[in-house]
Amino acid sequence: MSDPHPDVKSPNAGVVFCRRLKRRLPVVEHLACAYCFGEESDVKSGDHERFCDFREGKDPISFGFPET
């Protein structure tokens, strides 16, 4: 069966879960995040190891200060 509206994207197209905010966000919002290092295709994959540096309880951005 073919899609009756192939030019209309589903409401969830381009939306990926954000580990930092614990909710789904559009891909463009992931790409604007300081923790995001991937490209659009990486974010769309949903594989956080490919695009996200956020780790719960640990900030990977240390600005030269000791982590502790």
Residue 13 has phi, psi (to 5 degrees) of: -65, 130
On the question of pLDDT at 55 being above 60, the answer is yes
pLDDT of the residue at 7: 37
Q: Of 65, 50, 41, nearest to 19 (Cα)?
A: 50
Token pair recorded at residue 34? 């300081």
The average pLDDT across 46-56 equals: 93
Quote the pTM value: 0.67
